[in-house]
Structures are given as C-alpha cells and as structure tokens.
C-alpha cells in the first residue's frame, strides 16, 4: 500500500520531534554536501517538525538568508511553527505542488529523509528544477532500494516465519530508490548530478520499544500498516522477539543505508 498522510497524530508528531536526532544528524551531512552559504534562500521540502530548518536559518544562511519549510502534515507544521523566526517560515504543503513559489527563486532545495515517501518523483523534480535558480543546488538523502535498512531485513524474516509474502509488504513505503532510478529521474528533470554516495549509519537503540517508537514516528504511522489488525499484531510480536534477540551490550544495533545526492540546475537554465 502507498504511504498514507492520514495516520499521523499529535503524539506521533511530538515523538518524532524527540527521536529524530538521527535524521537531524544526517541532515547536517547533507547541508555540508550542499555547502549552504550565508545569504542564500533555501527550500526545505518535507520539513517535518522544523529542526533542520531552524539550524539552517540560524547557523547557515543567517539573517540575510531565508529558509522556507513545507510539509503536508499539519500536526508537524504546528511544531515547526514554534521554531519559525524572521528568516524561517513554515507552512503546510506538498512536494508535488510548489506552485506557491516563483520560478528561479531558491539557491538550494533539499529533501532530508523525504524522497522515499514520494510516489511521483518526476513531478517533484520538475517543480524543484523550476524553483531553483540557474546553478542552484538540490540535496536529497533517501533510503536505498538495493540496500534495505536492517529493520526491513528483520521484518522480512518475521514475515517468513508467518508464511507471509515479503514481496507484497514494504513495512512503510514502497518508494525507495536505486542508484539507477535516481540518475534517470534527475536526468529526466534536466538536473545535473554532482555527487551520489551511499552512506551506512549504525543506530544503537536501548530497547525494542525505542526501535518501534522511532519507526512509527518517522513513518507518521505507516509502519506495518499493510496488514489486517490481527495479522499485524502477530507480525509485530514476532518482530519484537527478533529485535530483542539482537540485543547486545550496546543495545540493539540496526544499520540504515541512505543515498546522499547533490545535483544542480544548469547555469544557462533560462
């Protein structure tokens, strides 16, 4: 099933704000890759609760620059509004519709842990190219289709033990991408790939509950919603047992694999 934007709750939004250090940290890497400069105008697509945007506004672009964040989940934007400031504005909005923004109006656009939620990547990238200034840069961190996160592997094992077909369940989103797909999508949008790197992150969780909190909040309620409630409860029990079995002296170690991509709009765009 495609991800739903109807499953978020105030509790999940607050939880995400408190457990999203991992996304925040790799967001900082993405900003380094993009070499965001003082005075630039930046669009943060899928800004969530606004933590990264707040950092960009105060530490990267400064008072002469501006950060605009959009996200389709109103409850996350409510939290992001608390972080808004004179040079950091947020509103409800979707990656697929950037019509609120003028052509060639941003130096930088980024999507941090957002692109794998988007079904229609072509329309998103066409919009991004339109709003980027000539030579402006796009940064994306996105889950890899070829190298699933450890939690997905554990899930596939859990499903197999219930004779369930892991080919039809995605855990949360079916829209992860391969390197070849990314290259092709950028090409179709007329964006120039500058850098594409797969990075591996080791996450240590103290207990099973914190693993599940992280994945439910990060997926705005979409984790394991592919099943009917009774099947889901059984799969969840098995998943919990398998996660517990991985617990070692440093807690539960799970890796995530993310592509980091930087692309640019051509200099002679218009």
Ligand X SMILES: C[S@@+](CC[C@H](N)C(=O)[O-])C[C@H]1O[C@@H](n2cnc3c(N)ncnc32)[C@H](O)[C@@H]1O
User: Is there binding between residue 23 and ligand X (CB under 6 A)?
Assistant: yes
User: Min. distance of Cβ 24 from ligand X in angstroms?
Assistant: 6
> Which residues have a Cβ under 8 Å from the Cβ of 11 and sit 6 or more positions away?
none
Q: How many residues bind ligand X (CB under 6 A)?
A: 23
Q: Residue from 205, 214, 216, 220 that binds ligand X (CB under 6 A)? A: 220
Rounded CA-CA distance 31/56 in Å is 8
Q: Which residue is nearest to ligand X (CB)?
A: 48
Sign of CA dihedral 108, 114, 120, 121: positive
Q: Residue from 12, 20, 132, 137 that binds ligand X (CB under 6 A)? A: 20
Q: Residue 8 burial (CB < 10 Å; 0-12/13-18/19+)?
A: buried
Stretch that binds ligand X, among 19-27, 55-63, 190-198, 248-256 (CB under 6 A): 19-27
User: Is there binding between residue 79 and ligand X (CB under 6 A)?
Assistant: no
∠ CA 185-190-195, nearest 5°, is 65
Tokens for 110, please give them. 């980024």
Stretch that binds ligand X, among 88-96, 175-183, 221-229, 259-267 (CB under 6 A): 88-96
Rounded CA-CA distance 31/126 in Å is 22
Site map 31..70 versus ligand X, x via CB under 6 A: --------------xxxx--xx------------------
Site for ligand X in 184-213 (CB under 6 A): none
Please, are residues 42 and 110 in contact by the beta-carbon 8 Å criterion? yes
Tokens for 232, please give them. 């889901």
Instruction: Catalog residues that contact ligand X under the rule CB under 6 A.
Output: 20, 23, 27, 45-48, 51-52, 71-73, 76, 94-96, 112-114, 117-118, 218, 220
């Amino acid at each position: 099933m495609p991800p739903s934007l109807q499953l978020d709750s105030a509790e999940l939004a607050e939880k995400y704000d408190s457990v999203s250090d991992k996304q925040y940290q790799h967001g900082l890497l993405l900003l380094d890759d993009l070499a965001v400069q003082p005075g630039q105008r930046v669009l943060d697509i899928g800004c969530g609760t606004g933590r990264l945007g707040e950092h960009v506004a105060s530490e990267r672009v400064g008072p002469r620059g501006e950060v605009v964040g959009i996200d389709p989940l109103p409850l996350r934007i409510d939290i992001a509004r608390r972080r808004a400031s004179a040079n950091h504005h947020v509103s409800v909005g979707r990656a697929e519709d950037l019509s609120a923004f003028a052509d060639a109006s941003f130096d930088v656009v980024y999507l941090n842990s957002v692109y794998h939620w988007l079904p229609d990547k072509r329309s998103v990238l066409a919009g991004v190219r339109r709003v980027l200034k000539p030579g402006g840069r796009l940064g994306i961190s996105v889950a890899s289709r070829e190298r699933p996160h450890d939690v997905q592997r554990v899930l596939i094992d859990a499903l197999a033990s219930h004779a369930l077909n892991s080919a039809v369940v995605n855990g949360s989103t079916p829209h992860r991408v391969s390197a070849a797909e990314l290259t092709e999508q950028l090409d179709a949008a007329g964006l120039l790939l500058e850098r594409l790197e797969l990075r591996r992150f080791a996450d240590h969780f103290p207990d099973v509950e914190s693993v599940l909190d992280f994945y439910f909040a990060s997926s705005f309620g979409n984790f394991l919603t592919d099943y009917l409630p009774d099947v889901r409860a059984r799969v969840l029990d098995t998943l919990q047992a398998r996660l517990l079995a991985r617990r070692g002296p440093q807690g539960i170690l799970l890796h995530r694999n993310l592509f980091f991509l930087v692309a640019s709009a051509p200099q002679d765009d218009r």
